[in-house]
Amino acid sequence: MTGVLTIAARELRSYFRLPVGWIVAALYLSLTGAVFALSTLEPGAPATLGGFFAGAASLLAVIAPAISMRLFSEEARSGTLETLMTSPASDLTVVLGKYLGAAGCLAVILAPTAVYIALLYRLAEPAPDPGPILAGYLGLALVGLLYLGVGTLASACTSSQTLAFLVAFLVIVGHLLLTDEGAARLPQPYAGWLAATSISIRAREFGAGIIDTAHVGFFAAWTLWTLAAAALIQQSRRWR
């Protein structure tokens, strides 16, 4: 566990030593601020962050790959991956440490959005129910962690940051389009099967204040699968 936290702390610090971390944070906060202003700050509209959570989750399809694209691809490009692989840390330790560093970066980026909650409580009458807000943030975190897992797996497969970003982004967007459009257009039982694997449908339920343990298990299982696959890829490199 010490090795995981050491790698995670090193990775988290690296994000904000380079301009990319600040650029990604500024971009995300600017866009989510616009979403909040357009979807929530409407006279007479219900005091809810549902629209904000939907928009913020959609933007993570771009932000999460941008955060995770450098995790392994930059190490492979610079030649430091071989040094990391010969260290006493196991492949799973390395993957978990780097992933937790990326998750910490995402948490730092999401933290300032708490100001939107303060604004909503300040401006809305009556005050909003805290339950849906907490559920919405839980859903947003689960979506972000899954997208980071996809990005980690993509980064483990290539030495190009650009390619890692594009692969993760296209996988995420392709899955969203397939499940959402397929669930809306195909007959049963195919529509039901696609809806059961839809990320956005589950995320919307969190945004509506519904915490379903089946949804939590869905995100946790797929996130763990992506990390296990990334660890296997790193292990195959060690064997070679």
- Give CA–CA dist 58/171, Å, rounded: 14
pLDDT at 86: 62
Q: What is the pLDDT of residues 140-173, one digit of tens each?
A: 999 999 999 999 999 888 878 889 899 999 999 9
Average pLDDT, the chain: 82
- Give CA–CA dist 37/107, Å, rounded: 22
pLDDT at 124: 67
Please compute, for residue 164, the number of CA atoms within 13 A of its CA located in the half-sphere on the CB side. 31
Q: Which of 46-55, 64-73, 169-178 is the least confident region?
A: 46-55
H/E stretch holding 79 reads none
Q: Is pLDDT above 80 for 186?
A: no
Contact by Cβ (8 Å): 71, 152: yes
- Give CA–CA dist 9/15, Å, rounded: 10
Please compute, for residue 47, the number of CA atoms within 13 A of its CA located in the half-sphere on the CB side. 16
pLDDT at 54: 85
Q: What is the pLDDT of residues 11-56, one digit of tens each?
A: 888 888 878 778 888 889 888 888 887 777 666 666 677 778 888 8
